[in-house]
Structures are given as C-alpha cells and as structure tokens.
Structure 1
Amino acid sequence: MGETLMAWHWALPTRVVHSDFLRTTQTAQRVAKWFDVEGVVDRRLRERDFGELEGQPDARYAEAWAQDALDAEHQCQGIEAVNRVAARLLAVIRDLEQASRDECVLLVSHGDPLQILLTALEGRDLRQHRDRALMQPADVVAWPPPVRQWP
C-alpha cells in the first residue's frame, strides 16, 4: 500500500468512499490521511454476499464463479447475483456523479465487486467478470480510462 501511495500518478482524490468492512476501512483511512481528504462509508461497496460459501475454503468460490459464467442472475447457495452486485455499485457511481461532477472520488471496495463493476462500466456481459485481469490488493484503476494519445 505504501508503495502505491509513494508512486501515485493518478489524479489526486478529493474524497475516499469505501465499504464499511474492516480491511477496506483501514485502507481508506490510510489513503484519506495521506491525501488529507475526507473518508466516507458507503455500505453498497461491501463485498459480494457469498451465501453458504462464506467461511468456507477459498477454493469453493470457484463454484460461484463457474455459475456466474453461465448466469449473471443466479443465486445458487444464497450467493448474491452478479447483476445485483453490478446494480448496487453502479448506483454508487451514479449517485456520486450526480452529487459531485468536479470531484475525483477514490472508491475502496473488494475484488469481486470491483471486477463486476469494471465489467459493467466496460459494457461487457456480466457473466465475463472473471475474464478481466484479476485485481490485487491496493490495485488502482482509473475510470474513465485515460484518453489514448495519438502520435
């Protein structure tokens, strides 16, 4: 995390909006302090609800992702449907855009919801969210993507 902050080359955030889970709160607090900006909790940025798989070995998540690839609306084993995850995270984006057009807001969330959000923002089929390069802890993705500079 420290290396990411030291090598920051993106627009400077004016606010940090984050999930209320401990790990994301700790990350957001550190980033907000670094940039001397406000940190705000938004529960819609929470991790995806994996239903009966919660607390199970990580290998079991592959079952959910296999179902995701077939049906973005599935709720097998009580898992939150991909399309619902996309809707709640897109609502965060929509609300932020309506409230603060001139701000640069840094979102701090979790891997699966962010994969789903980026897939939705790219206009791709939500069943393909695991086809994106997987995000790692402290990864930063600028959105919208920078405009390509032509030679």
Structure 2
Amino acid sequence: MRTLHVVAHPEATHHVEKVVGGWHDSRLTPAGVRAAVSIARELRARIPGGAEVELFSSDLLRTLRTADEVAGLFGVEPMADRRLREKSYGEAGGKPQEWLDRRFVPPPPPVGERMDHDEGVAGAETKGACARRVYAAMDEILERPCEHQIIVTHGGSLTFVVASWIRMPIESAGYASFRAPSGSITTLREDDFFHNRQVVGLGDTRHLDSARTD
C-alpha cells in the first residue's frame, strides 16, 4: 500500500498582502507557521511509527518552511524540487492582484486548445508548461518504492499532482480543477493488489482548528 500525503502550504505573505504568488518567493506568515506545526502533527498522527517516509517539497520559501516542520517530526530531509512550484505568472509575480486582473486576457475556450493558452502576461507560464513539469516530478516520485510519501506544494499545482496520480492525460487535465485550501492535506492511496489509485480525501483542513486557537 502506497499513500501520498499532499500538503498545500498554509498562509503566506502574498495572501495577506494581496499580491500575485506564483514564483514570487513569499514567506509564511506567523499564522502560516502555526498552521505548518499543526500540519506536521497531523501527519505524524496519521503515519505509523517506524514506517518508511519520504518528503518532497517545492523549492520556494513558503513550501520549504512548511516542509521543515514536517521534517523535524519525522527525522527526514526534505527533497526540494522546483518542478513542484506553483504556476509562474511572469512579470505579475509579486505585483498587486488587481494589476494582474486588469491585464488578464479572456480565459481559455470551453473546448479546444486550453493547455497552451496565452494569458497575455509577459513571462507567464502556460497551464500546459506547469502541468508537464509537475507530471515529470510525479513520475520520478512514484518510481521510488516508499510506503508513505509527503509532498508539500501549492494550491494551483496540486491539481496536477492529483491529475498525474490518477493518470489523467495532460490534455484532459486542462479541464481539471482539484481545489484544496491553504494548509490542507490531500490523501492519495494505491492498493497493492489491484493497484487502483484512490483520492481518499481532498483538501482536509480539520487539523487547522488547533492552529487557529493556539
């Protein structure tokens, strides 16, 4: 049995400053750090002691800080992978969200070419480019025979983690959206007999109740 525990990093400075995230290297807020502690405790409670655990993370500061809390409880080193980053918004990264909203071209068409749609922002990554790098990272993660794998990523790229897990073709992933709130844990599981891949839980935030009251 393989289980993937996919973490969407908690509150970061770009959330409260209302600026565009993407590859803008924002940090966790104090509330985000408290949530990261709760995430680590919840994962420790879910994963049996003595189980083999691997930890992967986007290489941005907000995900690495979250991964550090997890690493401390499991005694493992996070493996940073830039392919697990959020979609890049090019020159919009770090600018006010309303700046991007004014320049954003019409959304992709309901049918047809959706993955390589140009959003009209210089240097921005297409949805297809983001999907292809996340899929590539997932291919390498899943080649590793490990019972429990923790992946710390971003809300947007999490869609492609899940899509890759269920082996959705990339062109079909252009229609997919698996919404997981900041600080949530998504649980993916594969059985050893049929090798069916399940989405056991999507965007669970119950563990964050203690972070709000601590």
TM-score (norm 1): 0.76
Structure that is richer in helix per residue: 1
Of the two, which has the highest radius of gyration? 2
Which structure 2 residue ranges, 5 or more long, are not aligned?
Answer: 1-34, 190-197, 201-214
Change (3 A) 1:65 1:52: farther
CA distance in structure 2 between the aligned counterparts of 1:120 and 1:97, rounded to whole angstroms: 10
Structure that is richer in strand per residue: 2
Alignment pair present for 1:42 and 2:81: yes
Change (3 A) 1:104 1:65: farther
Q: Where does residue 96 of structure 1 map in the other structure?
A: 141
Q: Tell me the number of residue pairs that the alignment of Structure 1 and Structure 2 aligns.
A: 144
Superposition pairs for residues 61-72 of structure 1, below 5 Å?
63=104, 66-67=107-108, 71-72=114-115
Once the two structures are TM-superposed, the CA of residue 109 in structure 1 deviates from its matched residue by 1.3
CA RMSD in angstroms comes to: 2.9
* Residue identity in the other structure for 2:188: W
Identical-residue share of aligned pairs (%): 24
Preserved contact between residue 115 and residue 132 of structure 1 (Cα < 8 Å): yes
Preserved contact between residue 138 and residue 161 of structure 2 (Cα < 8 Å): no
Preserved contact between residue 68 and residue 82 of structure 1 (Cα < 8 Å): no
CA distance in structure 1 between the aligned counterparts of 2:165 and 2:106, rounded to whole angstroms: 19
Change (3 A) 1:113 1:64: farther
Map Cα deviations across residues 1-38 of structure 1 (whole Å, 9 max, x no partner). 23333333544671211111111111111111112222
Higher relative contact order (CA 8 A, sep 6+): 2
> Among residues 115, 118, 131, which one is paired with 1:86 in the alignment?
131
TM-score (norm 2): 0.56
